[in-house]
Amino acid sequence: MTQSFILTETREHVGLITINRPQAMNALNPQLLSELMDALALLDADNETHAILLIGSERVFAAGADIKFMAGFSAQEMRANGFVELFDGLRQVRKPVIAAVSGFALGGGFELALACDMIIASESARFGLPEVTIGVIPGAGGTQRLARAVGKALAMEIILNNRLLTAAEALQFGLVNRVVPVELILRESLAFAAEIAQRAPLAAAAAKQAINNAFEEPLTAGVAEERRLFYALFDSQDQKEGMQAFIEKRKPTWRGE
């Protein structure tokens, strides 16, 4: 029987996905990434799940792609196996996805965290993209997302000079949302995700889409799409419930409709 590298559970309205390949420091291979994207898709389709939390262990989030898997491939073979394209599954998830990073998030592991919407880091977190030290470059969005997150100069240093960012530096440069003690990473990140899960699901998905558009579209197009999403939400039951609850000074009950 094939071992699964992903553990999934639901805690109230938060879907919790744990990367579980400890014997390889959670290195990412095709099986692990395929299982991860399947788990994300299932949670995204579950109406009772309003936010998703992705976590590794206290020691390592993910130490990168599995180099033993990739080492012998030619360029044509690497293209054909579609490994880096598996990361694109995260772009299809409409619900907020939070990465909880403790220990090392290197190479593909860092790219995985960058592809999430928010990052909670433990004090032991270390972020890096060391691909140039083994003769390649980040291939799953790392050069693009990191430059957008921290700017050109620092992205150049991290990627070209193999600089590791500490959790405190990542917070300083706006790469992570907050830093927590190592022993509290699961509790604090779950609490953070639970807060987001309390928001109106359709509005949260629309807000996520609009914010992502800000990094991919010109300002005029982004504002136009924001306005379209704003108007569209007035046809939702959640908008009626949310505004009526505000008027009545009570807590809303979201239906995701």
Residue 131: is its pLDDT beyond 80?
yes
Residue 91 CA to residue 113 CA, distance in Å, equals 12
CATH 3.90.226.10: which residues of the chain? 6-197
Place 70 in a pLDDT band, splitting at 50, 70 and 90.
confident
Residue 130: is its pLDDT beyond 60?
yes
Render pLDDT for 156-185 as a digit per residue (tens, 0 to 9).
999 999 999 999 999 999 999 999 999 999
For position 234, what pLDDT does the model report? 96
Range of lowest pLDDT (71-80, 143-152, 217-226): 71-80
Residue 1: is its pLDDT beyond 60?
no
Phi first, then psi: give them for residue 16, nearest 5 degrees.
-105, 120
CA dihedral sign of residues 181, 183, 184, 189: positive
Residue 56 CA to residue 189 CA, distance in Å, equals 12
Q: What's the DSSP call for residue 22?
A: G
Could you please state the CATH topology (level 3) that the domain comprising 6-197 is classified under. 2-enoyl-CoA Hydratase; Chain A, domain 1 (3.90.226)
- How much is the average pLDDT of 181-204? 97
- How much is the average pLDDT of 208-236? 95
Residue 5: is its pLDDT beyond 60?
yes
CA atoms within 13 A on the CB side of 181: 3
Mean pLDDT of the chain: 95
Q: Which residues are catalytic?
A: 65, 108, 111, 131
Residue 81: is its pLDDT beyond 90?
no
Short-list 148, 155, 115, 150, CA closest to 131: 155
Encoded tokens for 191 = 């609490």
CATH 1.10.12.10: which residues of the chain? 201-248
Residue 69: is its pLDDT beyond 90?
no
Residue 52 CA to residue 62 CA, distance in Å, equals 17
b/e code 127-147 from CB counts within 10 Å (16+ = b): bbbbbeeeeeebbbbbbebbb
Render pLDDT for 224-238 as a digit per residue (tens, 0 to 9).
999 999 999 999 999
- How much is the average pLDDT of 75-102? 94
Residue 143 CA to residue 137 CA, distance in Å, equals 8
Domain spanning 201-248: which CATH class is it, in words?
A: mainly alpha
